[in-house]
Structure formats: structure tokens, C-alpha cells
């Protein structure tokens, strides 16, 4: 038998062994890239929601079901929606939870500190293991801005 006959099939064997490993590494890198986009989008969404909160919390109470400066009801729903809109870049129907660490009532001179929790669904089949057994990674970010309330009461 010649040397050519002894090495026949090695390329196929190497491909069968190496290709799945490279494919798994590639798909993991793709999922990591998607996670990074989701982290950046969540950071932006948090700033957007905080900006909205600093204005919405001070808005006229006749448009809402809570008093000025109270983070709840329709005010909280609008702030949450302001945080959800930028996240549509990284997930079609983002699941978002908005909280205000330490307080839910604000008045003139306060800092509005907001925490946004984005439940990001990992969608790459092989790279899903990066997101644990649930296939979801919770990305949490915080931001703060000054409360934009006026020093007067609405008539």
C-alpha cells in the first residue's frame, strides 16, 4: 500500500472532529455579542427611564392616579414603558421591572435613583448555556437624575 492510501480519509476525519468544536465556539461568541448589545441597550434604557421619571413624577396630578412625586400607578407604568422602548433593539417584547431603591416618593431637590431589571432571553441555541438553565439573563442597571419638580402645587 502506498503512503497516499494510508492517509486517505484523514481530512474527512479531522473535519468531523474539529468542525463541531469551532461551530460551538462561534455560536458562543455570537451569543456573547448579543449579550453585550443587550447590556448597552439596557444601560441606555435605564438612563431614558430615569430621565422620564424625573419629569413624569413631577407632572400635573390630573393626568395620573397618584399625587405629584409618588412613583406608582399610571406614573410608574409610563416610566416603565419609557425604559422598555429602547430595549426593543435587543428583544422584541422586553420584560422590564423598574424600581426606585430606597424610596418611592420624591420632592424638589431630590435625586431620582432608578433600577431597571431587564430579563433578556438568550436566543442562540448552542450559546444559550451562557444564560443558565432558564435561558434568560437578568441585566440590572441603575441611573440617577435630579427631580424636575416645581416648587409650587398645581391648581
Residue 76: name the closest of 109, 22, 38, 116 by CA: 116
Task: Please report the pLDDT score of residue 5 as a whole number.
Answer: 58
| Contact assessment for residue 31 and residue 124, using Cβ atoms and an 8 Å cutoff | yes
Q: How far is CA 109 from the centre of its chain?
A: 29
Among 124, 102, 99, 117, CA closest to 26:
124
pTM as predicted: 0.82
- pLDDT string in tens for the chain (155-residue length): 455 656 667 778 788 888 888 988 998 899 999 999 999 999 999 999 999 999 999 888 888 998 888 888 999 999 999 999 999 887 788 999 999 998 888 888 889 999 999 999 988 888 777 788 888 899 999 999 998 876 667 66
Alpha helices in 57-147 (DSSP H): 73-84
- Cα separation values, 125 from 28, 43, 53, 149, Å: 9, 25, 37, 47
pLDDT of residue 6: 62
**pLDDT on residue 152:** 66
The confidence score (pLDDT) of residue 13 equals: 78
Q: What is the dihedral of CA 90, 95, 100, 104, to 10 degrees?
A: 140
Domain boundaries, given as residue ranges, for the chain: 9-146
Query: Residue 41 has what pLDDT?
Result: 94
Which residue spans within the chain are E strands per DSSP? 95-99, 111-121, 136-146
CB atoms within 10 A of CB 52: 22
Burial class (CB in 10 A: 0-12, 13-18, 19+), 110: middle
Q: What is the pLDDT of residue 122?
A: 87
Amino acid at each position: 500500500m502506498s503512503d497516499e492510501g494510508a492517509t486517505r480519509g484523514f481530512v474527512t476525519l479531522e473535519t468531523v472532529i474539529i468542525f463541531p468544536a469551532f461551530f460551538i465556539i462561534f455560536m458562543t461568541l455570537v451569543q456573547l455579542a448579543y449579550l453585550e448589545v443587550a447590556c448597552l441597550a439596557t444601560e441606555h434604557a435605564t438612563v431614558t427611564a430615569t430621565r422620564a421619571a424625573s419629569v413624569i413624577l413631577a407632572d400635573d396630578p390630573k393626568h395620573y392616579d397618584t399625587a405629584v412625586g409618588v412613583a406608582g400607578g399610571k406614573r410608574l407604568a409610563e416610566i416603565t414603558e419609557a425604559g422598555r422602548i429602547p430595549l426593543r433593539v435587543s428583544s422584541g417584547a422586553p420584560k422590564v421591572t423598574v424600581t426606585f431603591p430606597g424610596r418611592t416618593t420624591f420632592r424638589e431637590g431630590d435625586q431620582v435613583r432608578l433600577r431597571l431589571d431587564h430579563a433578556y432571553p438568550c436566543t442562540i441555541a448552542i450559546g444559550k448555556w451562557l444564560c443558565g438553565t432558564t435561558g434568560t439573563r437578568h441585566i440590572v442597571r441603575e441611573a440617577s437624575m435630579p427631580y424636575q419638580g416645581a416648587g409650587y402645587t398645581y391648581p
